[in-house]
Structure 1
Amino acid sequence: MKYINNIFLVCLTLASVYSFAQTKDRTSDKNFDRYWYKKAAQQYESAVKKGDTSKETLMRLGDSYFFNSDMENAAKWYGELFSKYENDLEPIYAFRYIQSLEGTGNYVLAKGIMKIYTEKLNDTTFNVDQLKDNDKLIDALRNLQPSFYVTHLSSNSKFSDFGAAYYGNHVVFASTRDSSVFTTRKYRWNNQPYLNLFIADTTSGGTDLTNVKSFSKSINSKYHEASAVFTKGFDTIYFTRNNYLKDGLKRDAQGSNNLKIYRAVAHNNNWKNLEELPFCSDDYSVGHPSLSPDGKKLYFTSDMPGTLGGSDIYLVDIYADGTFSSPKNLGDKINTAGREMFPYVTKNKIYFASDGHLGYGGLDVFETTISDGTFSKPSNLGRPLNSKADDFAFIINETTQQGYVSSNRAGGAGDDDIYSFQRDKKCVQSIQGTVTNIVNGTPEANATVKLYMGDKVLDSVSSAEDGSYAFQTPISCETSYRVEASKEGYEGQENVFVSPNENEFVHEIPLQIKHNLIVQEDGMLKIKIGLIYFDFDKWDITSKATVELDKVVTIMKEYPAMIIKIESHTDSRGRDEYNMELSDKRAKATRDYIVSQGIESQRIESAIGYGESRLLNECSNGVKCTEEQHDINRRSEFIILKMK
């Protein structure tokens, strides 16, 4: 990755080498300061052969290769630098040395440098994951199972091709291939032409690009253009360009030409109203734009004041009138003291390239989840998507899980190449919901909710005060699951479902529970308790009766809006008039006891005895029945009339 993205290294470079840049008057230093690294590297190597092994020369020699992504030579000369001046180097050089070693696959030595500098950097503000003691993490990263199939595109040229962007059924990308729009001019950083935007057709499945041609004469200039993104209707383009408009190329106080994001609108098959975005500056770089799916946020890379490292990812809100908010840094969960760049934003993910988070060497692609404006810890997407070289400019269609990534890994056609990939369609979903009481619809806190696959419990959580629950365990697509709610003293409910074939689908599964003494009989809700025992020919409430009646009291206190009626019944033995009178006295005695335990009298609408007039079986007068059959008819019923 040796082009437009490397300009973001400039501020980091100047901070570490500018202190001695003015002390020499060599051609090599002048070439280095102009970012003509290939030529400078040759000149510094010649100086070393002549005996100049000063710290400044070795630093710049290593940097010349590092900034052109030649990690083999960078590691060689940083190694020389460390062997002579280890105790007199800034932390940035430990970072670059580790990056170079990882870029060559020398993870053993990289981990050794990490260990040394973990202790030395405890009191510094230079903080990147690469400089932490990550023995176990780097081994885990190397053992990460592949989840991408990566394919080199036949459309890549011998020059630099990178930064694919979706444009309907086409792809727009940056390339230094000669478009014949302008007389070929060489960029002396690496002696190749300047970047322009090109457009190509996609083959079936997106595995290759064909029919490559220049994108637009009104966009492409005689300087760099790259990293385009389009609005949903493809009526607006945002892209990166050198600080160049109609009035010529502009430079900052140090003579650097920085990058800016420009915007243009589609008009009659052309692009009009080309303008730079208002938060750009002559004094720092802004580039690599990416739009949120709703088009209301623009993410980008910059080294503006306040940046944590070489470059950070920022965002601005895009207002309805086309104006922008002030830039906001995404913070240290995403940004590090290294480089973060090339954001790509989907509905709830941000993909980006970084060399500050732990990786395989150079820039790696990471993903993080966005939730309510916060970000999860970025995760490395692993090999073969990432490599020992620079891997960046990742875009993906999250429906098909197909996309493109750019890399300067070995085996390509040019310096930077575009690769297509297919990600394993690991369909992941989540489950959340609310537990409520089936009787009155109120939330139920402290219910246990379990997730099952077959008979295996995958997760178990408790419902919150508002009845809500959410499982942390993700589930797969097209799989049968069961969710069950339970609570002591309650009858739970379960929900069995098959997950759809839709990635990142969130299941909203409501669950209900009810007290296990509340039942539904004959179309009515009732409080179901054991038999209320009365002494023969008596209606006094016995100690045995209070055991059951106290259950009614407990439930009525739990449901303060509950209104009931009491019905008392006898079997057919005895005179009809006697049974009617006795059951009525028992019903009213039952009511009086419940009221005496703190239940308002108005919550018991009635207490009536019905004698043997409402038998539940055939055991009427003159019918011979067993004691058990008669017991069925001897009952007190607590019928729920209202719950809320």
Structure 2
Amino acid sequence: MRFWSIFLFLLIFPYTSFAQQKRSKGDISFFEYSYRKAIKEYQKELEKGSLTSDQYLNLADSYLKVGNFKNASKIYVDIFKKDTIMTAHHFNMLLQSIARTSGMEEVKAFLGENKQKFSRELLENTEFNYELLQLKNELALTYEIFNVSSNSPQADFSPAFFKDKVLFSSARPGGSKKVYSPSGESYLNIYEAEVDSNGDMKAPREFGGLKTSKFHKSTPFYSEELKSLFYSLSNAVGSELLFSANGKNSMSIAMSSGSDAYKYILRDLDTSFYYPFYEAATGRLFFAANFEDSYGGTDLYFVYTNDGIIMSSPVNLGPRINTPGNEIAPFIFENTLYFASDVFYGLGGMDIYKSNLQDYNNFSIPVNLGTDINSKEDDFGLIIKNNDTNGLLGYFASNRYGGKGNDDVYGFKVDEKPGLKTLAFKGKVQKPNDGIGIGGAVVTLSDDEGTVLKEVTTDGYGNYQLEIPWRHKISLKAEKERYSTYLMDFNSEELDKMSTSKFNLELVLIDDILSESEAQVVIKMNKFYFNKGRAEISPEIAMELEKVVAAIKSFPKLQLRIESHTDSRGGSSYNFTLSQKRSNAIENYLLEQGVPKSNILYAVGYGEEKILNNCKNGVFCLEMLHNKNERSLVVVLNYNVLF
């Protein structure tokens, strides 16, 4: 696992940090990153007696970092069964070792038995990526990947665009750099390379635009907008390293606009900062750091800046991006965050993932980029841009088989943005008109055979979010008791054209469209009147009847009775006939507007049979009292059955 060598380049814990404490030879070797030697020393100590739980965990970590996953897995599982010292980060390493020795199904079984130990986001990410990787043959893009000419036998990684060139970090010997004892290679330095018409990196040379240092300089990012370079470097004063009270010398991030214009911007001797990325549109500086409150090992953060000057405390990208593993190398291209993680559900070691920025601080489920870009080894540090000719050009680092050295920089060309294709729906389930969110609604995505692919429940504000691997046809459904049901089918062409903006769904509450009248449940309408002695549907009446049409669209199982009444003026037979004509006219209008005949069970005219007051034949009444008796209702007959 070559990534661990690069990682320890950036995390220096000298012997003085533990020399004053009583440590075994195994401990000393472990904290000096001499993992093979640590294994030998811990084995000797086991032969003489026993190890503490912490030392046994160190032994498991050592086996993992030298690639002996079988022994690592055995020890991790043993510790898990009998002790509680394992952190979330060690759970990730446990699952990594199980994945390497027993496969995906064993990892799934372990997760199933220990779900309470993992966050909801991690479990969702895991399930999603396992499913997505199984579909890789159908969804994978075609890449042209090449090992660049500027690689050396040493570690070469963290490519960064610099004007018409590419910068990268390297442990190759050169200049004043000393040998860094934990790796056996030179202290890291930043190099630049020319880029030819095919995207190959050639003629590498030491980048001369930064302050001279004998120690680490690495993981650069150049901001064209600020005309400045962000990069990681060792904490030092002149030729002397700086150490914290805990004996640590970690990496800082500096900003430089030239060899004489240099300043630290993120610095803490107990915390390593590296892989800076500056987002000019928002002024945010993203980076990786190993704060003690991380979700696992190294997490991704950002700070707000004013032209690169830090204006806020670090903001963790949250559990959707950060995991119990290590996350590094953030890079944003066309509203998509690319980063690397060694979380257990990857293809092996560090893998590169993408996550869409859904709004300012929210991200979609991270998606493994799949084979080609990712391998069974460590793959990280992806950058990408639009090619000058066509398609996209990018670079990343990997220690996959067949390279020139330890980590190599690889170039790639591809027609579309990297990443297996997914479907994402996000928005709000709400009432029409007022937009009030509906909490507790169930939103479901199903395939064209009706199989449920993903189901979520809206939060208290009605918000929902769904993401699944790409399907050519899906159905989106939202429902809640006493509400209408939203159901929409989408084909491949419609899904391709869908906007990335919020997709809001409207549900109608039955109580908002019904009321009680004359001891009956009726469609809620404003009272309307036919012209005297007439049964034609006027525009005013049509406006109210559209509420019935809308009710049936929202609740297609409603069974209706249309009833019309007259006042007592005129003959009884005439009034009965007139009211029946009016009910028939209402029915015909509803049928013309698309209400199915099966929804209208009756259309009845009652004439003056059901007078609501004393305005009967021969009784003098004011006009307003007669008008009370003239009315039309649309009664819901099966309300008690449905609700």
Match of 2:96 among 89, 95, 99: 99
The reply to whether residue 210 of structure 1 matches residue 202 of structure 2 is: yes
- Runs of 5+ consecutive residues of structure 2 not aligned to the other structure: 426-432, 436-465, 471-492, 503-530, 547-643
- Does residue 1:414 correspond to 2:412, yes or no? no
Correspondence list, 1:121-200, <5 A: 122=116, 124=117, 127=119, 138=130, 140-145=132-137, 146-147=140-141, 149=143, 150-179=145-174, 181-182=175-176, 185-200=178-193
Give 1:237 shift: 0.7
Match of 2:218 in 1: 226
Please state how far the C-alpha of 1:174 moved relative to its aligned partner: 0.2
Contact 2:338-2:353 at 8 Å conserved across structures? yes
Counterpart secondary structure, 2:312: coil
Question: 1:129 and 1:359 mapped to 2: Cα distance?
Answer: 16
2:306 aligned counterpart, secondary structure: coil
The C-alpha deviation readout for 1:170-202, integer Å capped at 9, x for no partner, is: 0000001112x11x5222222111110000011
Q: How does 1:562-601 map to 2 (within 5 A)?
A: none
Instruction: Report SS of the residue matched to 2:374.
Output: coil
Equivalent-residue separation in structure 2 for 1:307 and 1:211 (angstroms): 40
2-structure distance, mates of 1:348, 1:224: 31
Match of 2:293 among 272, 283, 306: 306
**Following TM superposition, by how much is the alpha carbon of 1:552 offset from its aligned partner in structure 2, in angstroms?**
6.3
Return the offset for 1:41.
4.3
Query: In the alignment, residue 247 of structure 2 is paired with which amino acid?
Result: G
Q: Retained in 2: the 8 A contact 1:429–1:504?
A: no
Displacement after TM superposition at 1:203 (Å): 2.1
Give the TM-score normalised by the residue count of structure 1.
Answer: 0.59
Shift in Å at residue 249 of structure 1? 1.0
Match of 1:5 in 2: 7
Q: Which amino acid in the other structure matches residue 419 of structure 1? A: Y
Shift of 1:212: 0.4
* Distance 1:201-1:547 versus aligned 2 partners, 3 A rule: same
Letter in 1 for 2:7: N
Q: Does 1:288 align with 2:275?
A: yes
Separation (CA, whole Å) in 2 of partners of 1:444 and 1:295:
32
How far, CA to CA, are the matches of 1:341 and 1:88 in structure 2? 32
Identity %: 26
Given that residues 284 and 303 in structure 1 are in contact (C-alpha distance below 8 angstroms), is that contact kept between their aligned partners in structure 2? Answer: yes
Give the 3 Å change call, closer, same or farther, for CA 76–552 of structure 1 in structure 2. closer
Q: CA RMSD in A?
A: 4.5
Alpha-carbon separation, structure 2, partners of 1:135 and 1:376 = 14
- Whether the 8 Å contact between 1:200 and 1:212 is mirrored in structure 2 is yes
CA change 1:167–1:293 in 2 (3 A) is same
In structure 1, distance between residues paired with 2:278 and 2:186:
28
Matching residue's letter, 1:229: F
Given that 2:330 and 2:337 are in contact with CA atoms closer than 8 Å, whether structure 1 keeps it comes out as yes
Shift of 1:142: 4.4
Q: Counterpart amino acid of 1:228?
A: P
Shift of 1:311: 1.4
The match for 1:349 among 305, 326, 336 is: 336
In structure 2, distance between residues paired with 1:507 and 1:33: 49
Structure-1 separation of matches of 2:34 and 2:72: 19
| Alignment gaps of 5+ in structure 1 | 433-442, 446-471, 477-497, 509-540, 559-644
Q: Identify the residue that residue 319 of structure 1 maps to in structure 2.
A: 306
Residues 3 and 546 of structure 1, relative CA distance in 2, 3 Å threshold: same
Q: CA deviation at 1:382?
A: 1.0
3-state SS in 1 of match to 2:97 = helix
Q: Is the 8 A contact 1:229 1:290 kept in 2?
A: yes
| Distance in 1, Cα, partners of 2:57 & 2:12 | 15
- Aligned mates of 1:425, 1:172 — CA distance in 2: 24
CA distance in structure 1 between the partners assigned to 2:182 and 2:59 by the alignment: 15
Q: TM-score, normalised by structure 2?
A: 0.59
* Separation (CA, whole Å) in 1 of partners of 2:250 and 2:120: 25
* Secondary structure of the corresponding residue to residue 100 of structure 1: helix
Q: Is the 8 A contact 1:8 1:302 kept in 2?
A: no
Give the secondary structure class of the aligned counterpart of 1:258: strand
Give secondary structure in 1 for the equivalent of 2:300. Answer: strand
Return the alpha-carbon distance in structure 2 between the equivalents of residues 444 and 164 of structure 1. Answer: 50
Aligned residues of 1:91 and 1:121 also touching (Cα < 8 A)? no
Judge conservation of contact 2:93–2:325 (CA < 8 Å) in 1.
no
Question: Bigger radius of gyration, 1 or 2?
Answer: 1
CA 1:85/1:357 → structure 2, altered by over 3 Å: closer, same or farther? closer
Counterpart code for 2:536:
V
In 1, Cα distance between equivalents of 2:498 and 2:197? 25
* Residue of structure 2 in register with 1:251 after alignment: 243
SS in 2 for 1:289: strand
Q: Report if aligned partners of 1:130, 1:358 keep a CA contact under 8 Å in 2.
A: no
Moved more, 409-418 or 113-122: 113-122
| Secondary structure at the counterpart of residue 318 of structure 1 | strand
1:336 to 1:251, Cα distance in 2 relative to 1, 3 A: same
- Mean alpha-carbon deviation: is it higher for 161-170 or for 146-155? 146-155
Q: Which moved more, 1:291-300 or 1:77-86?
A: 77-86
Q: Is the 8 A contact 2:329 2:340 kept in 1?
A: yes
Q: Say yes or no: does 1:201 pair with 2:200.
A: no
Aligned-partner SS, 1:326: coil
Q: Which amino acid aligns with 1:387?
A: S
Change (3 A) 1:425 1:132: closer
Q: Is 1:388 aligned with 2:370?
A: no
1:423 to 414, 418, 421: 414
SS of residue paired to 2:275: strand
Residue of structure 2 equivalent to 1:261: 253
Equivalent residues, number: 447
Does structure 2 retain, via aligned residues, the 8 Å contact 1:429–1:506? Answer: no
Shift of 1:240: 0.5
Shift in Å, 1:413: 1.7
Which of 331, 335, 350 is the matching residue for 2:322?
Answer: 335
What secondary structure, in the 3-state scheme, does the structure 2 residue paired with 1:112 have?
A: helix
Deviation at 1:314, TM superposition (A): 0.8
- Distance change >3 Å, CA 356–CA 168, structure 1 → 2: same
Contact 1:129 1:357 in 2 (8 A): no
CA distance in 2 between counterparts of 1:58 and 1:260 reads: 32
Contact residue 237 and residue 264 of structure 1 kept, 8 A: yes
SS in 1 for 2:92: helix
Of the three residues 109, 113, 116, the one matched with 1:115 is 109
Structure 1 residue 361 and structure 2 residue 356: aligned? no
Q: Which residue of 2 aligns with 1:547?
A: 536
AA paired with 2:167?
A: V
Q: Which amino acid in the other structure matches residue 335 of structure 1?
A: N
Name the CA shift for 1:33/1:5 in 2 (closer, same or farther; >3 Å): closer
What letter is aligned with 2:57? M
How far 1:45 sits from its partner (Å)? 5.7
Instruction: Indicate whether 1:30 and 2:6 are aligned.
Output: no
Q: Say if 1:264 and 1:273, in contact at 8 Å, map to a contact too.
A: yes
